[in-house]
Amino acid sequence: MQTVSLTRREVIETAETLVIKIGTNVLSCADDTLDPTRIESLAEQIHRVKETGRKVVVVSSGAIGAGMGLLGLKERPKDLGHLQASAAVGQAHLIRRYDRCLQKHGYHAAQLLVTANDFKNRTRYLNVRNTIHTLFEYGAVPIVNENDTVSIQEIKFGDNDHLAAMVTSLVKKPLLVILSVVDGLYDGDPKSPESHRISQVQDWTPELLALATDDSSSLGTGGMKSKLQAVRSATAVGENVIIANGQQEGILDQILKAEDVGTLFLAQGASVSAWKRWIGYTIRPKGKFHLDAGATKAIRDGGKSLLAIGIQSIDGTFESGEAVTLVSPSGEEFARGLSNYNSSDLAKIVMRRSDQIATILGAVPYSEVIHRDNLAVLENHPAV
């Protein structure tokens, strides 16, 4: 009988939405085809989660793996064209399986295929969020996956762990559950009998990060290091995360009962507004501002806007309104924001007082380079 942690109980009881990321190997048989019994079991458990009044979003890998099985491929393709073809064949099979299993319990599976550009663009980001919330009104279960059939390197998330962290920011009072083929984070090599599962993580330390490797699963793309990066970005904005073994029978039921399974990562920072979460942890910066010590302190500790005089130099090419990263004199990225100036104009006014801008540019369109409302301090947790 698993023990019940008071902390876990509080985390579960306060969660209104479960975002469940399901890894490729969780859904695959030994021959790389989809495991229908696994999907059916997960659908039954999702039903029991929804019976508690909670909402559920599924971020599901498995399309490429499913396509490989259907196309008779023995190993994951190396080139983009064959990967996209496998995803195109597999995605239809994957969503059909989910829909059949969920319909037994009275729900429809709703397919959402996204790329990283859908999160970088504010309008698309809001459209994805609005679609998910409207699907909740109908009791449907959103099944989100990267649109592998059109994704190229420049618009890929990298893996569905990061996609799941981004999706988590779209819903209210979430708990992110990452289902993999490991029992959680271990204090050593998971294959060693001397290693032990870490039940709960409160603080991020260099020793903790050193426990993760880059190794990815045989069909998937994300190893434990990737998972920890995604977890860290989620906990930094006030979200709790559990990594657990999706092949363990009844795993979602056990999580719902607050049993000691997997590894619980507790939220590190205060809850961040959706707007600043989008700025700080979703869109990718186009430029970099190197600040002096005074500007760094004013933004990090004083809640101030960024003025041109505090910028020592800039890197990159960007337009007005695009995201940039702010770097302290020590080289640490500590904030992100939306620049009021493009890179060409800003290069002319760095280290200048506000009253000098009109003389240099002929006008003063903005007194601040980045307004405080468009700044997100990263709380010492680097964004991914």
Bind-site residues:
21, 61, 148, 160, 221-227
The sheet carrying 141-146 orders its strands as 109-114, 141-146, 55-60, 17-22, 174-180, 240-245, 263-265, 200-201
What is the Cα–Cα distance from 184 to 196, expressed in whole angstroms? 10
* Nearest partner of 247 among 16, 30, 2, 8, judged by Cα: 30
What is the Cα–Cα distance from 156 to 32, expressed in whole angstroms? 23
Backbone torsion region of residue 184, taken as left when φ is above 0, otherwise alpha when ψ lies between -120 and 50, otherwise beta:
left
Backbone phi and psi for residue 377, each to the nearest 5 degrees, phi listed first: -80, 135
Contacts of 47 (CB under 8 A, 6+ apart): 102, 105, 107
The bridge status of strand 333-338 relative to strand 375-377 is antiparallel
Radius of gyration for the chain, computed over Cα atoms and rounded to the nearest angstrom:
22
Residues annotated within the binding site for substrate are: 61, 148, 160
Contacts of 341 (CB under 8 A, 6+ apart): 320, 349, 365, 366, 369
- Name the residue type at position 74: K
Backbone phi and psi for residue 166, each to the nearest 5 degrees, phi listed first: -70, -40
Backbone phi and psi for residue 171, each to the nearest 5 degrees, phi listed first: -120, 165
Residues annotated within the binding site for ATP are: 21, 221-227
- Give me the DSSP letters along 196-253: -B--EE-S--HHHHHT---PPPSS-S--HHHHHHHHHHHHTTT-EEEEEETTSTTHHH
